[in-house]
Amino acid sequence: MSKTAANGNPAALGRRLLREQQQAALATSLHGAPYVSLVLVVADLDASPLLLLSDLAQHSRNIAFDPRVSLLLDGTGAYSDPLTGPRLTVIGRAETVDDPGRLARFTAHHPTSLVYSGFADFRLYHVRVERGHLVAGFGRIDGIEARDLLFAPDTGELAAAEPGILKHMNKDHKEAIAGYARGLLGQNCTGWEMTGIDPEGIDLRCGGKAARLDFAAPALTPQAARVALIELADKARK
């Protein structure tokens, strides 16, 4: 769903914030006292948050004591008055996962994390979302249940194909990716790469700059994703 379309749908807007934000404020419990820290975040294909945390960090020790967490995803950066912009608080439980595919998805989005992703004291966490609280500006406040906030259809086939799609696009279709950035984002940074694909769109990165492009309709298979990527390329050329 496009950003414009998502603006009228609280669940879709909240899910888009999950997919496009690269960092979040993580709230944990320090023996009952609130503790907030800055973390890198990546949305899984269903939009649930993934975190890569060190065992030595205070927030990881807090999670071991109490797995209940909340994440604030802030989409207000482009607003002169931040209180008029969208932000989403996600409430859930953080669970460690041993999943090479999810870890590869995280490191593709955050290349600097490759340096430490294999360290014995770093673990990948999946946040099992229970609900969300969206503030999309003054007077625009919605509670969103997990069943609505997350992408419900099965993403397994596309998840399995994601590494191959990224490798193919970044090796053989660099000009198409650059065209997405020029034609759809107005960005001329040299060296854009595709860092992720999910049923609702793709993620791009050029150096420290990240961007999100949405599909016109969900793509659940590699074949459907190919059609959606071609549609983006056609749109970028117009």
Q: What CATH number has the domain bearing residue 124?
A: 2.30.110.10
Q: What is the extent of the structural domain holding 42?
A: 3-149
Per-residue pLDDT of the chain (238 residues; tens, 9 = 90+): 445 446 679 999 999 999 999 999 999 999 999 999 999 999 999 999 999 999 999 999 999 999 999 999 999 999 999 999 999 999 999 999 999 999 999 999 999 999 999 999 999 999 999 999 999 988 899 999 999 999 999 999 999 999 999 999 999 999 999 999 999 999 888 899 999 999 999 999 998 899 999 999 999 999 999 999 999 999 999 8
Q: Are residues 48 and 163 in the same domain?
A: no
What does the pLDDT read at residue 7?
Answer: 62
Q: How high is the pLDDT of residue 8?
A: 74
3-state secondary structure the chain: CCHHHHCCCHHHHHHHHHHHCCEEEEEEEECCEEEEEEEECEECCCCCEEEEEECCCHHHHHHHHCCEEEEEEECCCCCCCHHHCCEEEEEEEEEEECCHHHHHHHHHHCHHHHHCCCCCCEEEEEEEEEEEEEECCCCCEEEEEHHHHCCCCCCHHHHHHHHHHHHHHHHHCHHHHHHHHHHHHCCCCCCCEEEEEECCEEEEEECCEEEEEECCCCCCCHHHHHHHHHHHHHHHHC
What is the C-alpha radius of gyration for the chain, rounded to an integer number of angstroms?
18
Same domain for 116 and 37: yes
Out of 107, 125, 149, pick the residue that ends a domain. 149
CA distance 84 to 33: 29
Helix axes 156-172, 100-109, angle to 10 degrees: 40
Confidence at residue 139, expressed as pLDDT on a 0 to 100 scale: 85
Do 139 and 191 fall within a single domain?
no
Choose one of 149, 184, 208: the last residue of a domain: 149
**Whole-number pLDDT of residue 4:** 47
pLDDT of the residue at 138:
85
- Phi then psi dihedrals of residue 23, to 5 deg: -145, 160
Whether residues 166 and 142 share a domain: the answer is no
Residues 196 and 220 in one domain: yes
User: If we measure between CA atoms, which residue out of 159, 166, 169 comes closest to residue 219?
Assistant: 159
Sign of CA dihedral 234, 212, 198, 193: positive
Number of domains in the chain: 2
Report pTM. Answer: 0.94
Q: In this predicted structure, what is the pLDDT of residue 124?
A: 98
